[in-house]
Structure 1
Amino acid sequence: MTNTASGWAAIVSPRYLGATITLCLGVALLAFNGFLVSTALPTAVDELGGVALLSWATTVFLVFAIMGGAGAALLKARLGARRALIAAALVFLLGSLLASIAGSMPELLVGRALQGLGEGVVAAICYALIPELFPSALVPKVFGAESVVWALAAFGGPVLSGALTETLSWRAAFAVNLPIGVIFIGLVLWIVPSGLREKSSGRLPIIRLLLIGAAIMAVSLGGLLSSPVLTALCLLLAGTTLFAVIARDRTASVPLFPSHAFRFGNVVGAGLWVILLMPLAQAGVAVFLVYALQNIFGFAPTLAGVIGAVMAVVWSGTAILVANVPETTRPALIRLGPILLTAGLVTIAIAFAANLLPLVIVGQILIGAAYGTSWAYTSQTIMEAALPGERDRASALLPTIQSAGYGIGAAIAGLVANTAGIAAAGTGQQLAAALVVTFAASALLSLPAIAAARAMTIKS
């Protein structure tokens, strides 16, 4: 393959442009929806009441997105990629419509659940389609393009949501998904092949999917509790349940996961640990950084949000820079990612201990570079190392495991922060002390990812 055929121009050439737009739009539905809704929800609560249910609007979306993503490969196999994507997109559109016309918070939560379920399937299948629609040389470029989508969502999502909420209504932030979803369905009909459907007498593993949902719900509930003991119990329950589901899945006739999922001595198994552990460790910064910038450094919400989004911008820029490296260099980049993540988290902990804003930005740059250098190649390596017949399961799990990592990490960060006294912090200095402990704990949680990245590349 020539350099031209494998360069950036290739993914926007007539041959691949439609596929690039389709998969990026599928990811954009998830990315923009998260940032849009986070800005519009407070206004929705003011109108609908039910402030106690505010956090659940995010929780139910996450839970159902993970359940949908876990079952996406089976849906793709049984319905074909095109039918599965269209069905999931219709569920997402129904949820967006219900949320936009909701007359109460419970109705809004139903809409959010349907949004999560549909988008969980869409994002997972879009990942599974990357190695089907693009040659191996172009896969890193596609991941680079998708990282740009996330960066645009981080910046543009809150701005667009705020503008829609202020000039029209918070309902417009949900309704804007409707035309985008319709465009996505049109692209799917045009670009995505129907694919072969597999005949199977086995039923969908509903119980395992429900147990996964229950475990993530327990994690999310733990993150909302003020009692460290109850939070720890929720995390223990969730971990035990997920472990049992993975163990049962290995002997099931209709598995959800690839056969070597989470086995450290296998490329796919160790790789999935990287995909889980990096977001898990970084979640503490994602949850508390903008809050800390406002309450310790005194920044306005917009400026704090811009600094918080530095990570996403660096992620995108770094992913583009390394997308053309030789194949022999890729294992080193995979191993470098978690190391940079640890360095970034340590830097941010030091920054708050010393009250040095420039170090906060340096830490964000290191974290963004961690994902930019390693994420695409980690994902591609997992896809290509999957056993014959298991690539869809491995690929579709990537966004699902990533979301689960953020959810679990957010709950752990909340537990550590509460134990460190964040709720009782009455001054900026006390708040900083609690966050230093939280970010230091996050750095410790990133260390196993370094070992996992080494394990998945040791034979590369």
Structure 2
Amino acid sequence: MSVVPVSPAPAEGIFGTTYRTSSIGAFALIAIAAFEALAVTTVMPTLARELDGLSLYALAFSAPLASGVIGMVAAGQWSDRHGPRRALEVAIVTFSLGLLVCGLAPAMELFVVGRLLQGLGSGALIAALYVVVGEVYPADLQPSLFASFAAAWVLPALFGPALAAVVADVAGWRWVFLSVIVLVALATVFVVPALRMLRPRSATEVEAAAAAPARRGLLLWATVAAVAALALELLGSLPGLRAALAAVPLVVLVLALRPLLPGGSLTGRRGLPSVIAVRGLLSASFFCAESYIVFVLQEQWQVTAVRAGLALTVVGVVWATASQVQARLRARLDDTTVMSIGSAVLLAGVLVLLLAVVLDVHPVLAAAGYALGGAGMGFAYPRTGVATLAASSDADRGFNSSALTISDSLGGAVALSISGAIFAAAERGDSDPFSAVFALAVLLAVGAAVVARRTGYRAPVAPDPAASRTARSR
């Protein structure tokens, strides 16, 4: 009797029958978070003037970056102990509440509170969503879904800034926040099928997660670091000698970061610590420039919000293109070389931006410098993740990945806090505040370029057995 082999069922993709709805919902949530980050940059100059809150301009950008770290850590711990479902639900509600507060804020102070809630929610949302993917999707489908998440960050760059500018011009900037709440609700409905596939944690798993040494105190230190980063801007912006009080949160920040990062990250020790440091310096320099690019185009050259937002669109495309280029050069260029080249390109970009502002040349040159900086980020940024994983073992992979994210977010938050203080001081001293801010971006890029050269490892030279025998015989 012959046996007829049964052909295996064709593999189902992320948009197959089982996962289609969940994949669309997850993609939409990431895209909405990305859109909101870009949309705020486009409308921030307008709303800051309307709310008479230019003094809190930088804080409105640094607030979600700092609170996002707390959200990431809290959601990660919650997901490990009790599963990601409730963490994701709370994250979505918190993010939506932040949008509501921002859209209805009568004053800049309340708007900043909304931004804190947005960051807390979006940080927790992304962390919990990644856990959902790990538990619901089979291993062979996870790379495809994470690739769609990367696209979810790129697509808003193509349409988000212009759309936000049009909405603000037609209906008012408040609707840039309020209208998104409806989109979040719709995306959440699509994610529900994935949440139903999650299994509950057992009592043993809950106890093991709670007792994990790497998790103890992590949320506390993350909260202290985030609060210190925000206090740095508030105290640094005070007039006169009172600005010296900013030294207190700066010291607290350094102390709080030490248990959150690998040893030597703050001093640029060779190897993994320098990789973590480069990630923070890259984010610090680029996001310092990004937060003020639309502002300076409007203030110095009277560029409309729609046209100024095009700079953000171009950078999104350039960043994605540079990321693809570095991926294709994976076999030719090692991680240290790529990070060094990317940091140097970022430095060149922010330097061009600074010169365009100082010399008051055409705004296209300023936008071109910003775009060049985006190319440097797209080239170097992905390799920091690759280098971190390559330098990690099973025992510390989770901690190192968390440290990379914390360095990324707090690097940007601290840079924006310092830029806010510098901006205020320059205005009081009748100097050009934009030149001062972009000069800070240049200094941070110099730091990234220097530390990037220290990200490589010097492999220990194995002793020569023959030489050892000869030495012993003597």
1:406 paired with 2:412, answer yes
1:64 paired with 2:63, answer no
Question: 2:366 corresponds to which letter in structure 1?
Answer: V
CA distance in 1, matches of 2:105, 2:405: 29
CA distance in 1, matches of 2:72, 2:279: 14
Match of 1:311 among 301, 315, 328: 315
The aligned residue for residue 215 of structure 1 is 228
Residues 293/386 of structure 1: CA separation in 2 closer, same or farther (3 Å cut): same
The aligned residue for residue 237 of structure 1 is 248
Match of 1:346 among 337, 351, 354: 351
1:87 paired with 2:86, answer no
Preserved CA contact (<8 Å) 1:124 1:398: no
The aligned residue for residue 453 of structure 2 is 454
CA distance in 1, matches of 2:79, 2:315: 33
1:370 Cα deviation after fit: 0.7
CA distance in 2, matches of 1:417, 1:362: 23
User: Deviations 1:388-427 (Å, cap 9, x if unpaired)?
Assistant: 24434433454443232222212333444555x44555xx
Preserved CA contact (<8 Å) 2:48 2:54: no
Calculate the aligned-residue CA RMSD, in Å: 4.3
CA distance in 1, matches of 2:368, 2:164: 29
CA distance in 2, matches of 1:37, 1:311: 16
1:165 Cα deviation after fit: 4.8
Q: Which moved more, 1:347-356 or 1:105-114?
A: 105-114
Preserved CA contact (<8 Å) 2:226 2:410: no
The aligned residue for residue 119 of structure 2 is 116
CA distance in 1, matches of 2:311, 2:87: 38
CA distance in 1, matches of 2:428, 2:145: 42
CA distance in 1, matches of 2:295, 2:444: 21
CA distance in 2, matches of 1:312, 1:273: 24
1:374-413 superposed matches below 5 A: 374-413=380-419
TM-score scaled by structure 1? 0.75
Partner of 1:71, secondary structure, is helix
CA distance in 2, matches of 1:444, 1:422: 20
Preserved CA contact (<8 Å) 2:274 2:454: yes
1:300 paired with 2:300, answer no
CA distance in 1, matches of 2:19, 2:449: 35
CA distance in 1, matches of 2:240, 2:327: 43
User: Deviations 1:16-67 (Å, cap 9, x if unpaired)?
Assistant: 97787565444333322234445667887899x7858964655543442232
1:360 paired with 2:369, answer no
Preserved CA contact (<8 Å) 1:41 1:54: no
Residues 113/186 of structure 1: CA separation in 2 closer, same or farther (3 Å cut): same
CA distance in 2, matches of 1:456, 1:385: 10
CA distance in 2, matches of 1:440, 1:393: 33
Partner of 1:296, secondary structure, is helix
Max Rg structure: 2
TM-score scaled by structure 2? 0.73
CA distance in 2, matches of 1:439, 1:42: 17
Preserved CA contact (<8 Å) 1:22 1:191: no
Structure 1 unpaired stretches of 5+ = 1-9, 250-255
CA distance in 1, matches of 2:280, 2:326: 22
CA distance in 2, matches of 1:417, 1:102: 24
User: Deviations 1:98-155 (Å, cap 9, x if unpaired)?
Assistant: 555668877665544333211111234456788896979996x877765654454345
Match of 1:160 among 160, 163, 168: 163
Identity of aligned residues (%): 23
Residues 20/338 of structure 1: CA separation in 2 closer, same or farther (3 Å cut): farther
Question: 1:367 corresponds to which letter in structure 2?
Answer: G
1:336 paired with 2:335, answer no
Preserved CA contact (<8 Å) 1:63 1:213: yes
Partner of 1:456, secondary structure, is coil
Residues 238/373 of structure 1: CA separation in 2 closer, same or farther (3 Å cut): same
Preserved CA contact (<8 Å) 1:11 1:142: no
Residues 13/312 of structure 1: CA separation in 2 closer, same or farther (3 Å cut): same
Partner of 1:67, secondary structure, is helix
Question: 1:351 corresponds to which letter in structure 2?
Answer: A
1:175 Cα deviation after fit: 3.4
The aligned residue for residue 472 of structure 2 is none
